[in-house]
Homo-oligomer: A and B are copies of this chain.
Amino acid sequence: MTSFTYQAPTKVLFGEGAVSQVGDLLKEQGAKKVLIHYGSRSAKESGLLDKVCKACEAAGVAFVTLGGVVPNPRLSLVYEGIELCRKEGVDFLLAVGGGSVIDSAKAIGYGLANDFDVWELYDKKREASACMPIGCVLTIAAAGSEMSDSSVITKDEGGIKRGYNSALCRCKFAVMDPELTYTLPPYQTSSGAVDIMMHTMERYFVTEDTLELTDGMAEALLRTVMKNALILKDDPRNYKARAEIMWAGSLSHNGLMNCGGPKGDWASHQLEHELGGMFDVAHGAGLAAVWGSWARYVYEEKPERFAQFANRVFGIPETGNPKKAALLGIEAMEDFYRSIHMPTNLEELGLSVTDEQIRELAKKCAYGGRTIGSFRALDQMDMEKIYRMALKGKA
């Protein structure tokens, strides 16, 4: 019977010019010394970093800065951040960027609040007992890290990408101004849209009973993201479309789309994590490249679920033949991915993966002998097959 725990306590300030409230939010949190954590060029060049620093000064909050976070954020910079914060007596972490920057801040927060090597969390050897408080100014709609309980870090040696989830790391506040995403390159905008959709779809594709209410909200979210991702292709400075996608990004991954259902499948995410670790691809693009192959590999476990998706998200009639509707729905999803210039296989993702690399990807993904996914539990052999299917996607 339906049961769940839900708590998404992050205070969201959403809208044009919301950045001006960063100082008040930090004071509300009692922050005395803040680490302003950011990526590379864009936060600086856009003037955003300056605005944030000035807001801190105006609020009388001291700060230090640490930039250099890259997509698939690195453990080495996390260690650097922990050391800097210890030295400087930082008591609050402010991430200015997208999911990578927020995830890096979360890892720094765990490292500061626990007296062991923070990688042990991501390596599933330990559990966190606390996390330094974190806030964020979001500049990319994608990962949903601004409201989520998750963070994903890549260990530099070996490119090992691992996630760790705990309510301790949820942001205290998230400042979300859709205008900050106007200048994202189209590829990154599309990749973000895929990531957002996949956070909902990984929760949607389960074999167990779900709540109709959650299904209905998830389907509305998917339709909304698709419609607005297409608008942004031609009109990247469309405030409304940016707002729809930005808010969808938060709701997709804050736990709301889980309610009434089990934890979700997550196999596509885990297959992609290995690609991200080995080849450093954009996360959303990597997800788009493997999803269709995953879907065709597993849909027969419960074709009715895929048929519902096909019907409610794409308007594909329920024909009484759920397998047929399921396959049409998978194709429709891939058609959409292509329409926003996202790949639907590894070749389109720009990768030429050798057979040895496929075995290596599957071996890393199946670490500790684990299976992934719940719609259909997948072992190392299954993973190999899906990676292989994904080389060229649907024949």
B7 touches A7 (CB 8 A): no
Interface hit among A63-71, A122-130, A241-249, A316-324: A241-249
Cβ of A4 under 8 Å from chain B: yes
Question: Which of B219, B228, B248 has a CB less than 8 Å from the CB of A220?
Answer: B219
Taking the closest CB of chain B, its distance from the CB of A253, in whole angstroms, is 14
Cβ of A1 under 8 Å from chain B: yes
User: Contact size class for A?
Assistant: 35 or more
Taking the closest CB of chain B, its distance from the CB of A6, in whole angstroms, is 4
Cβ of A213 under 8 Å from chain B: yes
Cβ of A260 under 8 Å from chain B: yes
Cβ of A224 under 8 Å from chain B: yes
Cβ of A227 under 8 Å from chain B: yes
Cβ of A10 under 8 Å from chain B: yes
B260 touches A247 (CB 8 A): yes
A221 touches B213 (CB 8 A): yes
Taking the closest CB of chain B, its distance from the CB of A314, in whole angstroms, is 15
Interface string of A252-268 (1 = CB under 8 A from B): 00001001100000000
Most chain B beta-carbon contacts within 10 A, residue among A6, A247, A256: A6
Q: Give the chain B neighbours of A248 by CB distance below 8 A.
A: 213
Q: Give the chain B neighbours of A244 by CB distance below 8 A.
A: 211-213
Interface hit among A11-19, A88-96, A383-391: A11-19
Cβ of A354 under 8 Å from chain B: no
Q: Give the chain B neighbours of A15 by CB distance below 8 A.
A: 1-4
The B-contacting residues of A in range 1-45, CB under 8 angstroms, are: 1-16, 18
**16 more A-B contacts (CB under 8 A) besides A1-B15, A3-B18, A5-B11?**
A1-B16, A3-B14, A3-B16, A4-B12, A4-B15, A5-B13, A6-B11, A7-B9, A8-B8, A211-B244, A213-B244, A213-B247, A213-B248, A216-B217, A217-B220, A247-B260
Q: A interface vs B, CB < 8 Å?
A: 1-16, 18, 178, 209, 211-217, 219-221, 223-224, 227-228, 239-240, 243-244, 247-248, 251, 256, 259-260
